[in-house]
Chains A and B, each alone.
Chain A
Amino acid sequence: MEWEVVIGLEVHVQLATQSKIFSGASTAFGADPNTQACAIDLAMPGTLPVPNEEAFRYAVMFGLAMNAGIGKRSVFERKNYFYPDLPKGYQTTQLEKPIVGAGQIEIHLEDGSSKTVRLHHAHLEEDAGKSLHEDFHGMSGIDLNRAGTPLIEIVSEPDMRSAAEAVAYLKKIHSIVTYLGISDGDMSQGSLRCDANVSVRLKGEEALGTRAEIKNLNSFRFIEKAIKVEAQRQIDLIEDGGKVVQETRLYDADKNETRSMRSKEVANDYRYFPCPDLLPVVLSDEYIEQVRGDLPELPDAKCARFEKDYGLSAYDADQVTQERATADYFEQVAAESGEPKLAANWVMGELAALLNREEKSIADSPVSAVHLAGLIARIKDNTISSKIAKQVFEAMANGDGDADTVIEAKGLKQVSDTGAIEKLVDDVIAASGAQVDNYRNADPDKRPKMMGYFVGQIMKASKGQANPQMINKILKDKLDALL
């Protein structure tokens, strides 16, 4: 039997406003507990919420970037449930009339193909506080700093068919919200979180299978693993004659398994109703058009421009434009060095490896765009070989200054002096009698390959600094003269 996995995602994105969605308390991350929870956030009697206009502007920006309809008249509703991190006993959210309607985006997969994923809608809502379960004499500690932080919840249609597609979709959402600057997108701080609705069905079947919802996935890697393991659980269950139950499940990364959250099942009746404390929010066409006019260049447009203006391959352009900071960095290196292709290779190669190794973002890169451009310029004008360039790059990463300073200080300048290279070649030939004989007696077709040994020895003798093109030429002439 061939199974098909069907995935829909609900993505929660914290908006980068200064203050909360309904109060003037700060949303800054990392403050002491409860120092940013005001009377409104705490649901003190007699308080009234007043919505933050910036949260609406951000939501509209997002909707426009998703090619979605904008709710010109949106309404807040109360979603009623009890949990200690929700002081009001309800979450103020949107249901019937959300700020962002149906839309669609294109996602790019590893194999180079693309796919359209439809957006069901996106709505504005408030985040809840945090429960801390460390030992407080058998009690839980509640920090309400996060309560009231503005979120957009982005609900996709069940259009994804693999964990890889789900990750590609999420990366696209991440890319869009960070390009727009409406969220820092920092998953480790919970700025972007995801619930995955996963079901399976036999390939070719129309009807959707019963779904399970995996809650609170907060890294790309966990999302991929959780979806894979949950899909397999459902397939095994059905093949063993069982039935999937509609329920909420939690992914346990340590055990790489999902497990049922039974406690959530009891109160699955949220009794939504329009919030009497808030009036409908009405946005004019002029306002929406003004927001549209202020949108920055988005990843797809930037990708197309990089292909066209810089001659990058579709793959390179996609890689380099996934994050706005990377795209900006690349553009600066490309402009300063005049070598876009080399710039892309270095940004996606050595630089990405360095940042990965040091767990740094490109904004905190130890090698600045100007320094990298300087290095590329020295490769271009043959001052150093690509191989030596990696050594210079490491030195720049260690804070040894720009490329010219490092090359000078370490004496890494490429040797392009004919006399010096001839001497190196002569020395190696003289010391390699056996290899020279082999070369002479070999089939002419095999000889080019046999040159590798000599080139290696010469490079070693020059500490990697001899110009490789010149070595090749001089070596070939000298060896051929011995035939």
Chain B
Amino acid sequence: MAVDAQTVEKLAELARIAISEETIDEVSSRLGDVLQLVDQLQAVNTEGVEPMAHPLDEIQVLRKDAVTEPNRREEFLKLAPQTEAGLYLVPKVID
């Protein structure tokens, strides 16, 4: 099953990935291969099988409500390209 160029462009936008004109065909065919694999999986008879939310048949362990993390702001800020007044700076976002 092929994925058309329009769908590839939409997926790329949703994932914020840049895909050049020249590679669209290749990406399209590779995504098609993945969907083919999904088709194969969907063809398996799963009657009577409970859907799982996770491949491990385990349940989540919860933690106590306690503050255990110290303030490591200065270390984290150093990793960012631009900071000011303790804030991470990003290109202007406003609605």
Binding site for B on A (CB under 8 A): 17-19, 23-26, 32-40, 42, 50-56, 75, 80, 82-84, 97, 131-133, 136, 138-144, 250, 261, 263-264, 266-267, 269, 271, 274, 276, 278-282
A140-B93, A281-B60 are known; give 15 further A-B pairs, CB within 8 A: A18-B65, A35-B71, A37-B76, A38-B72, A80-B14, A133-B92, A136-B87, A140-B89, A140-B94, A250-B95, A278-B60, A279-B54, A280-B59, A280-B60, A282-B60
Q: Is the C-beta of B49 less than 8 angstroms from some C-beta in chain A?
A: no
Q: Is the CB of A279 within 8 A of B89?
A: no
A298 to B67, CA, bound (A): 30
Partner of B91, one of A139, A266, A269, A276: A139
Known A33-B87, A269-B14; contact A281-B62, beta-carbon cutoff 8 A: yes
A84 to B92, CA, bound (A): 10
A82 to B13, CA, bound (A): 10
Q: List 30 A-B contacts (CB under 8 A).
A: A18-B65, A19-B68, A25-B67, A34-B77, A34-B88, A35-B71, A36-B69, A39-B69, A51-B62, A51-B63, A52-B62, A53-B64, A97-B53, A131-B90, A133-B93, A133-B94, A138-B92, A139-B82, A141-B84, A141-B85, A142-B89, A142-B90, A261-B95, A263-B95, A266-B13, A274-B53, A279-B53, A279-B58, A280-B53, A281-B62
A83 to B63, CA, bound (A): 28
Q: Is the CB of A34 within 8 A of B92?
A: no
Contacts of B14 in A (CB 8 A): 80, 267, 269, 271
A279 to B16, CA, bound (A): 28
Q: Is the CB of A24 within 8 A of B68?
A: yes
Chain A residue, CB-CB nearest to B90: A84
Q: Is the CB of A36 within 8 A of B71?
A: yes
Q: Decide if the interface of chain A is mainly helix, strand, loop or mixed.
A: loop
Q: Is the C-beta of B86 less than 8 angstroms from some C-beta in chain A?
A: yes
How many A-B pairs fall under 8 Å by CB?
133
Chain B residue, CB-CB nearest to A82: B16
Contacts of B54 in A (CB 8 A): 274, 276, 278-280
Most chain B CB within 10 A, of A56, A276, A279, is at: A279
Q: Is the C-beta of B73 less than 8 angstroms from some C-beta in chain A?
A: yes
A24 to B67, CA, bound (A): 5
Contacts of A136 in B (CB 8 A): 84, 87, 89
Q: Is the CB of A139 within 8 A of B59?
A: no
Q: Which 9 A-B pairs have the closest CB atoms?
A: A24-B68, A141-B87, A54-B65, A53-B62, A38-B69, A279-B60, A33-B86, A75-B53, A142-B88
Q: Is the CB of B87 within 8 A of A132?
A: yes
Chain A residue, CB-CB nearest to B92: A140
Contacts of A266 in B (CB 8 A): 13
Q: Is the CB of B69 within 8 A of A35?
A: no
Q: Decide if the interface of chain B is mainly helix, strand, loop or mixed.
A: loop
Chain A residue, CB-CB nearest to B60: A279
Partner of B73, one of A34, A51, A131, A138: A34
Contacts of B66 in A (CB 8 A): 18-19, 24
Binding site for A on B (CB under 8 A): 13-14, 16, 53-56, 58-69, 71-73, 76-77, 82, 84-95
Contacts of A51 in B (CB 8 A): 60, 62-63
Q: What distance in Å separates the Cβ of B61 from its nearest Cβ neighbour in chain A?
A: 7
Contacts of A274 in B (CB 8 A): 53-54
Contacts of A18 in B (CB 8 A): 65-67
Q: Is the CB of B89 within 8 A of A139?
A: yes
Known A274-B53, A279-B60; contact A139-B90, beta-carbon cutoff 8 A: yes
Chain B residue, CB-CB nearest to A215: B95
Contacts of B72 in A (CB 8 A): 38-39
A18 to B67, CA, bound (A): 6
Chain B residue, CB-CB nearest to A269: B14
Q: What distance in Å separates the Cβ of B55 from its nearest Cβ neighbour in chain A?
A: 8
Q: Is the CB of B86 within 8 A of A53?
A: no
Partner of A281, one of B59, B68, B82, B87: B59
Contacts of B16 in A (CB 8 A): 82
A279 to B13, CA, bound (A): 30
Chain A residue, CB-CB nearest to B76: A42
Q: Is the CB of B63 within 8 A of A24?
A: yes
